């Protein structure tokens, strides 16, 4: 069976999910919808992606620029089995998808309550199996879940405390800059801990966050009280086996987020993305039963494979999450 996938909101996330869908042999991209006649709309057409206007009121813009379109979002919804919503948070498309009778996936800008299911491929694939609606949790929450879930399953976690050092804006987003400040997020604890619990309610986790003047990655400083004493090597071995977690080492010349992203570009990753979570192997340390580590998150791309696995679960293409993860990873070249 091939699932027909449509994208509404062809921006940072939407365009990446679109490319990832075209790489899967069990999915077909039936179209992308957008409002503004930007270069991204032209590129979507150049790539051969069927292009739709988000609604009739945006047609003049596409006609003026000579960007060919197949129809409106409503026409795309008729063709799709499932929609990836890549619109900005709270755009409010749920009633539209419900009326069209199409399944839908939202992103981390939305609240858990919108769908009742918050998704991570390793942690709760089963909950998504056959579901009509879910949200893939944010880039930061996805990063925390990738490293915490295997610890929870294999070692046990008493408590986790983490500081999110957050990028100030997406790299293209000049509306928020120039930036020359460090802004503590004054809502304590930050929303990231509760967001992890929306997927894994059993984890005791508290987080705080600080915004810094960088655009390329987030960084997490994480301290975990484990249920039992383990060696550092045991944790290293566990994450070595964990999909979408990748080690970097200062001895290889990678001691900063800038160098992690340079590595991703040198690896010729699509758009220079890094779908894996970057963990500094040198800095994983267990003292007694307390684990310390740093990880870096490429905010625009870590959630993309999660969207693909979510499609597979919701459309009942694959029952086993490990098989879906492996299939997605192979198709996308994720290590
Ligand atoms: N950016 C990240 O790094 C990141 C990471 C993880 C999760 N997320 C989440 O992903 C979601 C999307 O964020 P994003 O960063 O991809 O946004 P984005 O880059 O601003 O892209 C949003 C896209 O939606 C389109 N759009 C805006 N309003 C629309 C509407 N009413 N109807 C249809 N299309 C509309 C925009 O098109 P026009 O140009 O045509 O207006 C644009 O193509 C949010 O929930 C966000 O929190 C973002």
* Interatomic CA distance for residues 82 and 5, integer angstroms: 5
* Interatomic CA distance for residues 171 and 12, integer angstroms: 10
Pocket flag, ligand 1, residue 11 (CB < 6 Å): yes
* Interatomic CA distance for residues 80 and 3, integer angstroms: 8
Supply angle C-alpha 80, 82, 83, rounded to 5.
Answer: 95
Whether 219 and 142 have beta carbons less than 8 Å apart is answered as: no
Element housing 42 (H / E): helix 39-46
Q: Residue 32, exposed/middle/buried by CB under 10 A (0-12, 13-18, 19+)?
A: buried
Whether 185 and 209 have beta carbons less than 8 Å apart is answered as: yes
Is residue 315 annotated as part of the catalytic site, yes or no? no
Mean pLDDT of the chain: 97
* Interatomic CA distance for residues 54 and 32, integer angstroms: 9
In this prediction, residue 325 carries a pLDDT of 98
Cα→Cα distances 34→6, 24, 27, 61, Å: 11, 23, 21, 11
Whether 269 and 261 have beta carbons less than 8 Å apart is answered as: no
pLDDT digits (tens, 9 = 90+) for 221-269: 999 999 999 999 999 999 999 999 999 999 999 999 999 999 999 999 9
Which of 150, 153, 155, 111 shows the shortest CA–CA distance to 133?
A: 111
Atom of ligand 1 nearest to the CA of 34: 40
Q: Which residue has the tokens 């963990």?
A: 279
In this prediction, residue 230 carries a pLDDT of 97
Q: Is it the case that residue 122 has pLDDT exceeding 90?
A: yes
pLDDT digits (tens, 9 = 90+) for 27-53: 999 999 999 999 999 999 999 999 999
Q: Is it the case that residue 178 has pLDDT exceeding 80?
A: no
Q: How far is the CA of 38 from the centre of ligand 1 (A)?
A: 14
Q: Is it the case that residue 218 has pLDDT exceeding 80?
A: yes
- Closest C-alpha to ligand 1, atom 2: 300
Q: Which of 6, 10, 11 to mutate to test the pocket of ligand 1 (most atoms within 8 A of CB)?
A: 11
Range 186-199 average pLDDT: 97
Which of 261, 159, 139 shows the shortest CA–CA distance to 204?
A: 159
Element housing 152 (H / E): helix 139-154
Pocket flag, ligand 1, residue 115 (CB < 6 Å): no
Element housing 229 (H / E): none
pLDDT digits (tens, 9 = 90+) for 284-317: 999 999 999 999 999 999 999 999 999 999 999 9
Q: How far is the CA of 34 from the centre of ligand 1 (A)?
A: 10
297-326 burial: b if 16+ Cβ within 10 Å, else e: bbbbbbbbbbbbbbbbbbbebbeebeebbe
pLDDT digits (tens, 9 = 90+) for 89-105: 999 999 999 999 999 99
Helices (H), 136-209: 139-154, 192-197
Helices (H), 243-292: 257-266
Q: Which of 35, 214, 277 to mutate to test the pocket of ligand 1 (most atoms within 8 A of CB)?
A: 35
Q: How far is the CA of 11 from the centre of ligand 1 (A)?
A: 5
Q: For residue 176, name the pLDDT band (cuts at 50, 70, 90).
A: confident
- Closest C-alpha to ligand 1, atom 27: 87
In this prediction, residue 281 carries a pLDDT of 98
Q: For residue 335, name the pLDDT band (cuts at 50, 70, 90).
A: confident
What domains, with CATH codes, occur in the chain? 3-137+303-332 (3.40.50.720), 139-297 (3.30.360.10)
Q: How far is the CA of 239 from the centre of ligand 1 (A)?
A: 32
């Amino acid at each position: 069976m091939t699932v027909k996938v449509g994208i509404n909101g062809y921006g940072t996330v939407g365009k990446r999910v679109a490319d990832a869908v075209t790489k899967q042999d069990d999915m077909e991209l039936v179209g992308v919808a957008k409002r503004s006649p930007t270069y991204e709309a032209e590129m979507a057409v150049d790539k051969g992606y069927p292009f739709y206007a988000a609604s009739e009121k945006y047609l003049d813009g596409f006609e003026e620029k000579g960007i060919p379109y197949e129809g409106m979002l409503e026409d795309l919804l008729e063709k799709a089995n499932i929609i990836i919503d890549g619109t900005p948070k709270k755009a409010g498309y749920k009633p539209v998808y419900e009326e069209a009778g199409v399944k839908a996936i939202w992103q981390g800008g939305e609240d858990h309550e919108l769908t009742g299911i918050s998704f991570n491929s390793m942690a709760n694939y089963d909950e998504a199996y056959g579901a009509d609606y879910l949200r893939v949790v944010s880039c930061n929450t996805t990063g925390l879940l990738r490293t915490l879930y295997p610890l929870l399953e294999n070692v046990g976690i008493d408590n986790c405390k983490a500081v999110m050092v957050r990028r100030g804006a997406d790299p293209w987003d000049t509306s928020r800059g120039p930036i020359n400040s460090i802004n503590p997020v004054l809502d304590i604890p930050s929303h990231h801990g509760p967001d992890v619990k929306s997927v894994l309610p059993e984890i005791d986790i508290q987080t705080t966050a600080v915004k810094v003047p960088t655009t390329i990655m987030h960084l997490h400083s994480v301290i975990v009280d484990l249920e039992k004493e383990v060696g550092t090597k045991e944790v290293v071995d566990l994450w070595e086996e964990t999909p979408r977690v990748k080690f970097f080492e200062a001895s290889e010349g990678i001691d900063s987020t800038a160098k992690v992203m340079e590595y991703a570009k040198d690896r010729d990753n699509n758009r220079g993305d890094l779908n894996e979570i970057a963990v500094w192997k040198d800095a994983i340390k267990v003292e007694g039963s307390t684990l310390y580590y740093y990880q870096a998150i490429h905010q625009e791309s870590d959630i993309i494979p999660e969207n693909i696995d979510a499609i597979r679960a919701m459309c009942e293409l694959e029952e086993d999450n490990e098989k879906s993860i492996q299939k997605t990873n192979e198709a996308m070249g994720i290590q």
